[in-house]
Homo-oligomer: A and B are copies of this chain.
Amino acid sequence: MTRSEENYLKTIYHLGGDEKVPVSTNAIAAQMETKPSSVTDMAKKLAEKNLVDYQKYQGVVLTSLGKQTALQIIRKHRLWEVFLYEKLDFQWDEVHEVAEQLEHIKSEQLIDRLDALLNYPKFDPHGDPIPGKDGLLAVQKKTLLSELEEGQNGLFVGVKDTSTSFLQYLDKNQIALGQSIRLIERESFDQSLQIEIQGRSLRLSHQIATNLYIKTD
């Protein structure tokens, strides 16, 4: 497996290659900031290796081998993110870029031991679940903050947008994973929310609220 092949598999998985709905050439190209013609080339290569099913003009779907492979790369990515965050004091908006490189290191022993060093974490610093060696994901029932009802309580357990700017916005407002949240009121005009988080009262725009995952009580 080349680094490029691994990156394509991961992208296809993130674009929903999980289901049987095919992922389009253009969608992959946009996500990877590359050209559709390059994607077509790679689709053929991955199909050749039985990692995706590909039919001309029909997009690609991960095979079960492709899905397992993608999950193992995601496992490495997220374990490295935990390492950077827990052991090297990186901020949660700094871990992704370096993990993009580290996820391609090939050594099963390395990942097993890293997993042990970190005490077998189940979630990465953004609240995303870490696939096991067997490729299984701990699925946590979570709701977007924007979908809570007034008066509902919950725990902030994950972010949907993991961009630096969004993560830094949360830092600036002292919003961090694990905090308890209560939806006080939804303003029907602009869908903005009044919430109470760790005792503090805050107003959040709809856009913010659609990027915070809450585990309701």
| Cβ of A107 to closest chain B Cβ, rounded Å | 5
The answer to whether the Cβ of A47 comes within 8 Å of any Cβ in the partner chain is no
- Using CB atoms, name the residue of chain B closest to A110: B98
A94: which B residues are within 8 A, CB to CB? Answer: 109
Instruction: Report the copy number of this chain in the oligomer.
Output: 2
- Using CB atoms, name the residue of chain B closest to A98: B107
The answer to whether the Cβ of A45 comes within 8 Å of any Cβ in the partner chain is no
| Cβ of A40 to closest chain B Cβ, rounded Å | 26
B98 touches A105 (CB 8 A): yes
**In whole angstroms, what is the CA distance A173 to B18 when docked?**
52
The answer to whether the Cβ of A12 comes within 8 Å of any Cβ in the partner chain is no
A114: which B residues are within 8 A, CB to CB? Answer: 88
A84 touches B98 (CB 8 A): no
* 8 closest residue pairs by CB, A with B: A88-B113, A98-B107, A101-B105, A98-B110, A87-B117, A88-B117, A102-B105, A89-B113
14 A-B pairs besides A84-B110, A88-B110 with CB distance below 8 A are: A87-B117, A88-B113, A88-B114, A89-B113, A90-B109, A90-B113, A97-B107, A98-B105, A98-B107, A98-B109, A98-B110, A101-B106, A101-B107, A102-B105
Task: Enumerate 11 A-B pairs (CB-CB under 8 Å) in ascending A order.
Answer: A87-B117, A88-B110, A88-B114, A88-B117, A90-B109, A98-B107, A98-B109, A98-B110, A101-B106, A102-B105, A105-B105
